[in-house]
Structure formats: C-alpha cells, structure tokens
C-alpha cells in the first residue's frame, strides 16, 4: 500500500498499529534486526514518522511489541489447538508441543532475528514468562504427570532453539518421531 492510499482514508489506530507490527515483522524476517529502523518501518508501512512514534516511541518499544505479538500468536495458536483436543488430560502441554512443531519458517526466521534482541534485553520476555507461569499452572491441574509435561515443553523449547540457531540437522522423519514421543509424554 502506498503513502497516498494509506493517508487517503480514515484508519483506526489499532489498524495502523497492527500494520506497523506486520511491516516490522516482514523487515526483520527478510533482512534481520539490523535492518529494523523506525524510518524503514514508517516508510514501508506508508505511515508518517510522527504517526509511528505515536504508537512506538522507540525501537525498544517496537521490539517489545513485536516479541509480545509473536508470543501472543504462539500461545493463541496453542489455545486453539487445545480447544480442538478431546482429551483434557495434558491438553495445554500437548497443544504447546504441536504449536512448536508446526511453527512456519517465516515465524522461525522472525524469532531468529529477534532472539538477539531479547537475549540482550531479558525484559522483552516478561510477557512470555507470565504466560509460561499460567501454562505450568494448567499442567499441574490437568496433567497426570506434570514433570513429563515439563519435559515435553522443554524439549519443544529445545527444538525451537535448534530451529532458530540451526543447531541440529533434524530430518522430517526424526522430527515427526520426536513430535509423537513428546505428545505421548503429555498423556
């Protein structure tokens, strides 16, 4: 969308904010976090610099919102998968594993680009930590064996790390055997 059409109609602030976050995600996914400047985001989104600063007063604020958005999307996907799961026992942990194993490549690239940012500023993960506290509370309620569920969650996190850091060469067959094994741990 070019600048004239963007300014040509009345937009809700949430729509603009969402668009800025989408564009920021595209930039880091394509060119890494070093390419993420407020100017680049404003230009690509067809939003004035002032309009951008209204939503995100700093690059740090933008990064925080990006991590929050990705964490939110991950946990929402997990929630939806959980709702479709007829077996209540270990449901949240199983949905977490399934979500981790089905993260699309575009999302992995964004996580990879952002990981350097949240590793150097642990505050960016505050929202994620809060969500993990909630899901572990659910595990304790709904899992026959909460330790096994935690093993499954940690292994899913390890797979995330392997994907983001390209650590292991895990072929499709091994990947699917792994998923099956972790899902079994949640039952």
In the window 110-139, what residues touch its own copies (CB under 8 A)? Answer: 112, 115-120, 122, 125, 128-129, 132-133, 136
CB of residue 31 to its own copies, shortest distance in Å: 13
Report the chain's C-alpha Rg in angstroms. Answer: 19
- Determine the distance from the C-alpha atom of residue 10 to the mean position of all C-alpha atoms in its chain, rounded to a whole number: 30
Angle between helices 126-142 and 146-165 (to 10 degrees): 150
Extract the tokens encoding 137: 């509370």
CB of residue 187 to its own copies, shortest distance in Å: 15
Instruction: Measure the CA–CA gap between 66 and 49, rounded to whole angstroms.
Output: 18
CB of residue 50 to its own copies, shortest distance in Å: 30
Is residue 140 near its own copies by the rule CB under 8 A? no
CB of residue 92 to its own copies, shortest distance in Å: 14
Instruction: Measure the CA–CA gap between 95 and 97, rounded to whole angstroms.
Output: 5
Contact indicator for 82, 91 with CB cutoff of 8 Å = yes
Is residue 31 near its own copies by the rule CB under 8 A? no
Q: Among residues 1, 15, 137, 177, which is the contact residue for its own copies, using CB under 8 A?
A: 177
Is residue 182 near its own copies by the rule CB under 8 A? yes
DSSP secondary-structure letter at 46?
T
CB of residue 26 to its own copies, shortest distance in Å: 19
Instruction: Measure the CA–CA gap between 180 and 40, rounded to whole angstroms.
Output: 42
Is residue 105 near its own copies by the rule CB under 8 A? no
Residues that bind its own copies (CB under 8 A): 32-34, 112, 115-120, 122, 125, 128-129, 132-133, 136, 147-148, 150-151, 153-162, 164-170, 174, 177-178, 181-182, 185
């Amino acid at each position: 969308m070019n600048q004239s059409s963007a300014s040509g109609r009345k937009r809700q602030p949430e729509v603009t904010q969402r668009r800025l976050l989408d564009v920021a995600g595209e930039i880091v996914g394509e060119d890494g976090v070093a390419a993420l400047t407020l100017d680049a985001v404003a230009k690509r989104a067809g939003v004035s610099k002032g309009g951008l600063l209204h939503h995100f007063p700093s690059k740090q604020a933008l990064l925080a919102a990006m991590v929050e958005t990705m964490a939110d999307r991950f946990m929402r996907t997990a929630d939806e998968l959980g709702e479709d799961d007829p077996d209540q026992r270990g449901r949240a942990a199983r949905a977490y594993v399934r979500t981790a194993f089905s993260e699309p490549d575009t999302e992995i690239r964004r996580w990879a680009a952002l990981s350097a940012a949240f590793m150097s500023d642990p505050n960016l993960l505050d929202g994620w930590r809060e969500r993990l506290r909630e899901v572990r509370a659910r595990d304790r309620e709904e899992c026959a064996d909460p330790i096994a569920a935690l093993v499954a969650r940690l292994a899913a996190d390890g797979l995330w790390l392997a994907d983001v850091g390209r650590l292991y060469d895990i072929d499709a067959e091994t990947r699917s055997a792994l998923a099956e094994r972790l899902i079994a741990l949640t039952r």
